[in-house]
Homo-oligomer: A and B are copies of this chain.
Amino acid sequence: MKAVRYNGPFDVSVEDVPDARIEQTTDAVVRITTTNICGSDLHMYEGRTSMEVGRVLGHENMGVVEEVGPGVQHVQVGDRVSVPFNIGCGSCRHCQSGWSSFCTRTNPTEGMDGAAYGFANMGPYDGGQAELLRVPFADFNLLELPAGDEHEHDFTMLSDIFPTGWHGVTLSGFVPGDRVVVYGGGPVGLMAAHSAMIRGATEVFVVDQQADRLRLADSIGAHPIDFSQGDPVEQLMEATKGAGADRGVEAVGYQAHDHSGQEHPELVLDNLVSSVRSTGGIGVVGVYVPEDPGAADEGAKEGRISWQYGQFFTKGQTMGTGQAPVKRYNRQLRDLIVTGRATPSFIVSHELPLTEAVAGYDHFDKREDGWTKVLLHP
């Protein structure tokens, strides 16, 4: 089958690889109809992870079930499904309490809980930027979608970024009526903003400097803040008469940079602490890593971030972090799409055949204007 192979920093290619196949009794194989390039793929693409050369990338996958193992009881061949990026076993303590993103069994990496497809440090699983994908524990992991091809562009957001943005809002301690600030107007940040609007935010601010992202924020009823035009905290305070936000979402991660392009991993955390009122909360879904040899700062190389913790404590804020447990949300989000109340496809800018994935990575990584989200069709 055709698949997107990681060859090294800034080097991917579409290659012929052996077909994905049933390996355990509880596996399924899914024929991919749509698979997206994710912002976190770029951490790998840019060589800022320990991704192995030769792995197939792609953790935002959907398609149709092609084959099931003999231990699969519910999923059936022909089912249209969304594949959550987390691979849960369904029976460990975390999976059973709604934390499939921290499954204690599926990732053999020492000291790491949680597995994913085509992802550095998250187990040996190949990704779905390919024609076929092997899905372990298929009954537990797969989400059934209505048959046909309706809502394909919306449903394809169910595997990762829509639940991830939604989770960021949840981690912030959001309640309806709250005012929310989202740092980062990339796909995840825009999904967080969309989620907060759907869930009854009084108002939502999205901080970024890319014009295309700020336009999209505006298009869903959020207020764009362009940090290239001045301190975003000051802009927020001015817009809110000094009140700031009740909740903040971090959708940037450890490669945060200032207007000049200089990386400052503490920058967004500091701004969040200043933006959010006392007793407010911060949800962090932008990725931070325990080791980052490519970091400029000595502390950051070993995962240390020197942020305004004293202020955080003094304001009595809370913080929730980590990868989203997709399964906790994807049923409801699917239903919101079906009834037209959620339309996450608003971020899609490009659709390419899988064979043009290389160009897709290149344009998206350069954050070229208008390349907000790329879908691939095998």
Interface residues of A (CB under 8 A from B): 24-26, 69-74, 89-94, 96-99, 101-102, 104-105, 112-114, 137, 139-140, 171, 175-179, 198-203, 254, 266, 269, 277-279, 284, 287-292, 299, 302-323, 327-329, 331-333, 335-336, 338-339, 341
Given A26-B73, A288-B314, A317-B322 in contact, is the A96-B327 Cβ separation under 8 Å? yes
Residues of B within 8 A of A92 (CB): 74
A316 and B99 form a contact (CB under 8 A): yes
| A333 and B91 contacting across the interface, CB-CB below 8 Å | no
CA distance A90 to B86 in the complex (A): 17
User: Distance in Å from the Cβ of A31 to the closest Cβ of chain B?
Assistant: 21
Query: How many copies of this chain?
Result: 4
Task: With A176-B332, A313-B321 given, name 11 new contacts (CB 8 A).
Answer: A91-B140, A201-B341, A269-B309, A287-B313, A290-B308, A305-B307, A307-B309, A315-B322, A316-B321, A316-B323, A319-B319
Q: A74-B89, A177-B335 are in contact. Are A278 and B312 (CB under 8 A)?
A: no
Listed A/B pairs (10) with beta-carbon separation below 8 Å: A71-B71, A94-B278, A97-B98, A200-B200, A202-B339, A284-B313, A288-B309, A288-B313, A290-B308, A304-B308
Q: How far is the CA of A112 from the CA of B202 in the complex (A)?
A: 24
Least CB separation from A289: chain B residue: B310
| A290 and B278 form a contact (CB under 8 A) | no
Contact A202 B336 (CB under 8 A): yes
In-complex Cβ contact of A313 among B177, B299, B307, B322 (8 A): B322
How many angstroms from the CA of A341 to the CA of B199 in the assembled complex?
Answer: 11
Nearest first, the 5 closest Cβ-Cβ pairs linking A and B are: A71-B71, A177-B332, A316-B322, A303-B310, A306-B306
Chain B neighbourhood of A98, CB < 8 A: 96-98
Chain B residues in 8 Å Cβ range of A269: 309
Set of chain B residues within 8 Å of A306, measured between Cβ atoms: 299, 304-306
Closest to A175 in B: B332
B73 touches A24 (CB 8 A): yes
Complex CA–CA separation, A73 to B91 (angstroms): 10
B309 and A102 contact, CB distance less than 8 A? no
Contact A309 B304 (CB under 8 A): yes
Q: Which residues in B have their C-beta under 8 angstroms from that of A178?
A: 332
Residues of B within 8 A of A198 (CB): 176, 200
Inter-subunit contact B303/A311 (CB<8 Å): yes
Q: A71 and B322: CB pair below 8 A?
A: no
Q: Tell me the smallest distance from the CB of A143 to a CB of chain B, in Å.
A: 10
Interface hub of A178, A279, A332, A336 (most chain B Cβ within 10 A): A279
CB–CB B305/A288 < 8 A: no
Docked Cα-Cα span, A198 to B74, in Å, equals 35
If A96-B327, A200-B198, A202-B341 touch, whether A26 touches B71 (CB-CB below 8 Å) is yes
With contact pairs A71-B26, A140-B91, A200-B200 given, residues A290 and B310 touching in the complex (Cβ less than 8 Å)? yes
CA distance A200 to B279 in the complex (A): 24
Taking a contact as CB atoms under 8 Å apart, the answer to whether B93 and A331 are in contact is yes
